[in-house]
Each structure stands twice: as C-alpha cells, then as structure tokens.
Chains A and B, each alone.
Chain A
Amino acid sequence: MSNLRTLIFATALAVAAPAVAEEKPVDPYTQSSANAGAIPFTGDQMLAAFHGRDGVARIVDDTLDRSVADPKLREIFHATDMERLRRTLKEQVVYLLGAPVAYTGRDMKTTHKDQGINTAEFNILVEHLQLAMDKEGVAYRYQNQLLAKLAPMKRDVVTR
C-alpha cells in the first residue's frame, strides 16, 4: 500500500518536473519544422561554431535576458510566456543550425502578428543577439550566417 502511494507520488512528480509543464497553453496550431521560417544549414559545422545545443541555450537565454531588461523592449514581453519562448527559440535556432531536431513552435507570422513590433525594435533584439553571440565567443562570420537566416523573418515579425 505504501509502495503504491510512493509510486503515485513519484509519477506525479515526474509529470510536473519538466519545464514544459510550466508553459501556458496556446491555441492549437499545426506543428511543422517549416514553422521555423528558414531552411536549416546542413552538416554539423554551424552547430559546432555555436558550441552545440548548450551554447545555443546560453545565447538564447542571454539574448532574452537582455531584451526583457531593455527599457525599449520590456513592454513587448510584458505578457509573454517566457518559459515557452525560451524553449521554442532555442529549438528554432538549434534546428536552423542543422541539428537533427524538430521545431515545435508556431510560425513567425502568426506568433508576432499582434505584437506591434517595428524595425527599430527588431534591430535592437538582433543587437542583443549579437552581444550574446559575442559573449559565447561565436566567430563573427558564423554569427552573420545565422543572421542571414533570421534577417528575412523581419517581413513576418515587423508589422508596423
């Protein structure tokens, strides 16, 4: 009996433990890696240049920390589920850099359509990303290669 209780308790913990569980639900959408908005790099050179998935995780966390702390961007992230944003953005970048993973987030147009982001705000976020990549020690030419994938997404992200 006490064994069973332990088992139930352990199972409940296991379900609650992953970060995913802390994410707020979103409206249903069709999952597809195409939602990542660009064709990924092939080979493992790009991911290596970003120090693998751990490097990308540090870069994304740093980028978002800088963005949320930025007086010019703070408002935009006011109601954002940062838990979900951190997970999906890491996934997206890792996917674009050529890792054999799927991107499970929403597409850029749908995600940003009500955010009212302008060009200057887009650039500020890119600059935070550049600083984060600098901090991680990613060589500049590789930074630019990632930016080449992200830059065209301005069409979907910037709505005003």
Chain B
Amino acid sequence: MTSKSGVISLALGLAMAGSLAEASDMETSGKLLLTGGVTSVEGAGGGGLASWATITGYGTRDEWGANAHATLVELPDYQFRAGGVSVGFHDRVEVSYTRQAFDTGETGAKLGLGQGFTFNQDVVGAKVRVLGDAVYAQDSWVPQVAVGVQWKKNDRDTLIKALGGKDDSGVDYYVAATKVLLNQSLVMSGALRATKANQTGLLGFGGGKNDDYQIQFEGSAGYLVSKRLLIGAEYRSKPDNLVGLKEDDWVDVFAAYAFNKNLSVTAAYADLGTIATFKDQRGLYLSIQAGF
C-alpha cells in the first residue's frame, strides 16, 4: 500500500473502532486503564519506542489478557509498519509476535534497491516480571522489574550483508523497571537493552564499526491527564554499527488514549534521526491496540 492510503485506512479503522468502543462503556475487570501501557514497535507491552516492565493486557494475576496491534510510522522518506499479537499470563509472563515492515517507497529507487523495496522482520518476544509492583506498591519506591528477550529475524539477508551487516538475525536482551507514581500522576520507566541490532534489526545485526553486544538505554516519562489519557515522551539510544549508514537515537512525544479496556490508540511525533543516509526522519507515529 502507498503511504497515503496507509494513513487513511488506519484513520478510518480508528474512527470505526472509536464508535464501536463508545457502545460498550463497562469497565469492570482486570487492571486499571492504561496501567498495562500500549504496544511497542517490537510488539512488547509498554511504550511505543521504549520497553516497560508491565505485562500486556488487562489480565490480573489470576487471569490472562491479550492484545493485537497495528502501528504505522510515516516518515519523510520511509514508512514503517508493524502488526502483531501479545499475550500476558497471570500478570507475570508475556509472549509476543510482531511482524515489522520497513518500506523504502520512493526512496528505494534512489537507494538503488527498487521502488517500494521493503525489509521485513519477525520479532518473537518473551518477558517475565521478576519483582516489584508498578501500580499497587505506592508506599514503596521499588519499581516493577521485568527481564525480556526478543528473537529477531530479517528477510533481507543478501542485502544486509551487502550493506555491511554481519547477520540477518539476532537476539536482544533487556531489563526494564517501571513505576506508576499515583501521587504525582506520573508513569516512569527505564530499560537497558543488550543488542547488536541496526535500526532495531530492520537493517540487520552488527557491522563494520562494531559487532559486539552493546548496552543501550530506553526511557519514558508520562503524565496521566485522566483515566483515559497518558501524555509523555520517550527516548531510546541505539547502536551505530554499520559503516557509512549512520544511526541515531530515537525520541518521541506521545499521547495514548484508552477508549476503554478493549481499545486504545497512541499518536506520537517521532524523531528517528538518520536512517540509511536519509536525514531528519521525523513523522507521525500512529498505533491502534485492541485486546482485553
């Protein structure tokens, strides 16, 4: 699909889902609204670009919960799409699968890859809450801490090698700490990720500048404006492994809105820096999440 039709169909989907959501306004089970976060570009429950220690879905420790998401980032020279599902068990374990597409569109021709050349990546994730409680333990500063792993496999092995990448697949490991500070209506989260991924793996793993695991930081801060609305900012540092294809850290400002426990949307303005020699990749991030 072209960039424009992508945005339009997503907007339509949002409008339709929104009117559906208004019909069912009962919110009487599971966790509190938005306390499970949204879905990240890699399919994990949390922020959009940054990882959280929360377990996806509204399932409590006696239940399970699940989410499906569709995400679109519209950049000046590229389009990023992702879609996937995640399941949380007993508010303890989360497993997720997401397929990412990095569509070079018109830029593909300029890069000599061909019009609309697209990199696809499968991401299988698992996360386990190891200690703490982000929401209930308001009398303690101890955050909720989770450890996670993401297996990533890219479908453009030949090209990745040609770009100087060492591998078309890789494994990221992360530890995340998240706390909802109800007294301040704030949500704070930080994560450390061990990774070799270039542009989260869309441009492969490792490169001429570096082929070792590096520790990167992801942070987010949000303010709970109402039960339904969380606004905030995120930052994610990234490796810079590929020779000649400089990679930048990512930042965004976002607003996540929960129509109810079954449906939420996240809109963000993301600055993804330079991607494959094209500078200033700033644009709109839209994500819709449905689940229970």
**Cβ 8 A contact of A144, one of B28, B62, B136, B183:** B183
B24-75 with Cβ < 8 A to chain A: 27-32, 60-63
Within 8 A of A (CB), among B196-250: 224-227
A: residues with CB less than 8 A from B are 38, 70, 72, 118-120, 123-124, 126-128, 130, 140-141, 144-145, 147-149, 151-152, 154-155, 160
User: Which of chain A's residues have a CB closer than 8 A to the CB of B140?
Assistant: 152
Q: Are B31 and A123 in contact (CB under 8 A)?
A: yes
What range describes how many residues of B lie at the interface? 20 to 34
Q: List 10 A-B contacts (CB under 8 A).
A: A118-B60, A123-B30, A124-B29, A127-B28, A140-B185, A147-B182, A148-B138, A148-B181, A151-B137, A152-B138
Contact A144 B29 (CB under 8 A): no
**Nearest A residue (CB) for B63:** A120
Are A123 and B29 interface neighbours, CB within 8 A? yes
Set of chain B residues within 8 Å of A148, measured between Cβ atoms: 138, 181-183
A123 CA to B36 CA in the complex, in Å?
Answer: 14
Residues of B within 8 A of A118 (CB): 60, 62
Contact digits for B110-143, partner A, Cβ 8 Å, 1 yes 0 no = 0000000000000000000000000111111000
Compute how far the CA of A70 lies from the CA of B27 in the bound complex, rounded to whole angstroms: 12
Q: What A residues does B31 contact at CB under 8 A?
A: 123
Q: How far is the CB of A157 from chain B (nearest CB, A)?
A: 10
Complex: chain A residue closest to B226, CB-CB:
A140
CB < 8 Å: which of B61, B136, B181, B226 contacts A152? B136
Do A140 and B227 touch across chains, with their CB atoms under 8 A apart?
A: yes
Cβ-defined contact, A72 with B138, below 8 A = no
* A144-B61 in contact (CB<8A): no
Residues B136 and A151 in contact, CB atoms below 8 Å apart: yes
| Interface of chain B residues 247 through 284 with chain A (CB within 8 A) | none
Given known A-B contacts A130-B227, A140-B227, A151-B182, A120 and B138 have beta carbons under 8 A apart = no
Distance A128 CA – B29 CA, assembled complex (angstroms): 11
On B, residues with C-beta under 8 Å from A are: 27-32, 60-63, 91, 135-140, 181-183, 185, 224-227
Cβ–Cβ contact B60 & A127, under 8 A: no
Complex formed: what's the CA distance from A126 to B227 in Å?
12
Once bound together, how far apart are the Cα atoms of A73 and B75, in whole Å? 49
Are B224 and A70 interface neighbours, CB within 8 A? no
Cα–Cα distance between A124 and B139 once the two chains are bound (Å): 21
Contact (A145, B183) CB under 8 Å given A118-B62, A126-B32: yes
Task: Give, as a whole number of angstroms, the nearest-CB distance from B273 to chain A.
Answer: 35
A72 touches B28 (CB 8 A): yes
Partner of A120, one of B27, B30, B139, B224: B30
Tell me whether A120 and B32 are in contact (CB under 8 A).
Answer: no
Most buried by B among A70, A120, A140, A145: A120
Asked whether A119 lies within 8 Å of B137 as measured between CB atoms, the reply is: no
Instruction: Please give, as numbers and ranges, the residues of chain B lying within 8 Å of A127 by CB-CB distance.
Output: 27-28, 32
Determine how close the nearest CB of chain A comes to the CB of B122; give it in whole angstroms.
33
The 10 closest A-B pairs by CB, nearest first: A148-B182, A119-B60, A152-B139, A148-B138, A144-B182, A148-B183, A151-B138, A154-B136, A151-B136, A120-B60
> Which residues from chain A contact B181 at a C-beta distance below 8 Å?
148
A142's nearest neighbour on chain B, judged by CB, is B185
- A70-B28, A151-B182, A152-B138 are contacts. A144–B63 as well, Cβ < 8 Å? no
Is B185 a contact partner of A141 (Cβ separation < 8 A)? yes
How far apart sit A129 and B194, CA to CA, in the bound complex (Å)? Answer: 42
A119-B62 in contact given A140-B227, A152-B138, A152-B139 (Cβ < 8 Å): yes
